[in-house]
Amino acid sequence: MSSKVAIKWPRKVTTTLVEQLIRAEKDVQKAVLIFDAATAEYSNGFRHDRSTFGLIISRLLSANHFNLAEEMLFRMKGESCKITEDIFLSIYRAYGRVHKPLEVIRVFQKMKEYDCEPTQKSYITVFSVLVDENRLKTAFRFYRYMRGMGIPPSVASLNILIKALCKNSGTIDSAFRIFREMPNRGFTPDSYTYGTLINGLCRLGKATEAKELLTEMEANGCSPTVVTYTCLIHGFCQSNNLDEAMGLLEDMRSKGIEPNVFTYSSLMDGLCKGGRSSHAMELLEIMIHEHKVPNMITYSTLIHGLCGEGKIGEALEVFDRMKLQGCKPDAGLYWKVINGFCENNKFQEAANYLDEMILSGISPNRLTWSLHVKIHNAVVRGLCAVNDPNRAFQLYLSMRTRAISVEDKSFEILVNHFCKKGDVHKAARIVEEMLIDGSIPDEQTWAVVVGGFWDRRKVREAADSVQAALMYKCMDFGS
């Protein structure tokens, strides 16, 4: 990349012009070149101020170029440009966005090096990031430090403290104590306070208590949001109280609160787990009618529910609709569909979707590899069961090429099937590869192979197989 940008600068370069050029440039690296070029053009001309430095730092943070952003901060100090708290706040939020709470603490501790005194805003922002990232011990220590530094409590800081205490069953009572004491200390709980407590109760399986708090919330003049209702609906779905969850959907609508995609997805999840996937499908149609676009979670929930109830045809309709919308199914979703076919003894269809998954370049991760192996073996065995050994053998070869483990049972079924079909050479090849993989055929498998050769008067091959059987039997005995 060139170290210069082709810009014809006027004799008088202004802050407004530099900001316009930086904002207009989509490539952040080129935006940095513009930033540098503004001061390089005229030696006694333009000098960056807090506004242009703040803008380029913001651009760098948005692109996750944290080191460059901090270098700009250091450059600000070197150029004696006043550094204000809002720049530090943007750095805290950016590190929080990428789940790096310890970096937030590190930058906070450097504030005074830049002659910037943290105010309540900085303390609360850092505290909030620590709580959101579940660094609760550090968060509580930071809260005590904050109070020790003379930062007074506020509704905002108490809300974050309550949020931290709501994360564990052992501390939620402390959260409620602080909540009940707030009015006595001159603080009025707001919608965020109530929403945090309702979410905490629902997460701990106390949806009925959470609904009682909703009633109190409204009585005290705090309006619930779609997030509040979604938490409650999810809580009742988790406790399998689906009628209560559906009632909450009607309740929020009657108050003019529009359900969003997360509300519907939570309710669909509960309905599917409760064996009511048809009802969940009705909600999907309502969603689409309301121009709310289903997401991956919505589709995954429906497909899992429909497959679980054996409604593979309807699951495929949702699967196809999902792909038409541009949502790319992951390995787990393909496996659910493939397993649905297997459970309905439709192994050719299962193999078709397995091929589609492979051709689409979709592969499992480290955590789902065992399921990947299990599904492949199930399809191989199923294809043999429906008398399609050639396709089973092609899938078997594909598994070996892609280093997918072949289970002992799959080896045995393949060998048995090819021997019965008279393809004893293919059976012998599978046995040989079985031995290479370290799987020792049992006596029945050896008997099938030897019998297959013997029936076709291939005495030498039968003798070789018997010799191999005896050799591996001895090895097995010796081990």
Mean pLDDT, rounded, for 407-414? 85
Mutual orientation of helices 101-109 and 120-132 as an angle, nearest 10°? 160
Tokens of 234: 């999810």
Contact 372, 409 (CB under 8 A): no
pLDDT at 478: 45
C-alpha 340/C-alpha 347 separation (Å) is 10
Tokens of 81: 């440009």
Query: Phi and psi for 122 in degrees, rounded to 5?
Result: -65, -45
Residue 458 has pLDDT above 50, yes or no: no
Residue 63 has pLDDT above 90, yes or no: yes
pLDDT at 479: 43
Tell me how long the chain is: 479
- Coil/strand/helix, residue 88: helix
How far is C-alpha 387 from the chain's CA centre? 40
Predicted confidence band of residue 426 (pLDDT cuts 50, 70, 90): confident
Residue 376 has pLDDT above 80, yes or no: yes
Q: Which amino acid is at 35?
A: F
pLDDT at 469: 46
pLDDT at 477: 40
CB contact burial 241-270 (16+ within 10 A = b; e otherwise): bbebbbebbebbeeeebebeebbbbbbbbb
Contact 238, 232 (CB under 8 A): no
What is the C-alpha R_g of the chain? 32
Tokens of 57: 């730092």
Residue 350 has pLDDT above 80, yes or no: yes
Domains of the chain, earliest start first: 153-257 (1.25.40.10), 408-478 (no CATH)
Percent of the chain with pLDDT over 90: 56
> By mean pLDDT, which of 173-177, 285-289, 455-459 is the weakest?
455-459
Tokens of 374: 């299990």
Q: Supply the mean pLDDT for the chain.
A: 87
Mean pLDDT, rounded, for 7-31? 90
Residue 175 has pLDDT above 90, yes or no: yes
Q: Which amino acid is at 92?
A: Y
pLDDT at 372: 82
Question: In Å, how far are 170, 227, 469 from 160, measured between CA atoms?
Answer: 17, 17, 70
Pick from 169-183, 354-368, 377-391 the range whose average pLDDT is largest. 169-183
Predicted confidence band of residue 445 (pLDDT cuts 50, 70, 90): low
Mean pLDDT, rounded, for 318-323? 90
Q: What is the pLDDT of residues 112-163, one digit of tens each?
A: 999 999 999 999 999 999 999 999 999 999 999 999 999 999 999 999 999 9
Tokens of 356: 């589609």
Mean pLDDT, rounded, for 217-243? 94
C-alpha 13/C-alpha 397 separation (Å) is 68
C-alpha 248/C-alpha 202 separation (Å) is 14
Predicted confidence band of residue 360 (pLDDT cuts 50, 70, 90): confident
> By mean pLDDT, which of 6-20, 102-116, 194-208 is the weakest?
6-20
Mean pLDDT, rounded, for 259-275? 93
Q: What is the pLDDT of residues 64-121, one digit of tens each?
A: 999 999 999 999 999 999 999 999 999 999 999 999 999 999 999 999 999 999 999 9
C-alpha 383/C-alpha 375 separation (Å) is 12
Pick from 63-72, 324-333, 393-402 the range whose average pLDDT is largest. 63-72
- Coil/strand/helix, residue 183: helix
Residue 208 has pLDDT above 60, yes or no: yes
Torsion of CA 167, 173, 177, 182, to 10 degrees: 30
pLDDT at 473: 45
Residue 1 has pLDDT above 60, yes or no: no
DSSP string across 355-422: HHHHHTT----TTTHHHHHHHHHHHHHHHHHTT-HHHHHHHHHHHHHTTPPPPHHHHHHHHHHHHHTT
pLDDT at 18: 92
pLDDT at 242: 93
pLDDT at 2: 46
Tokens of 16: 């407004």
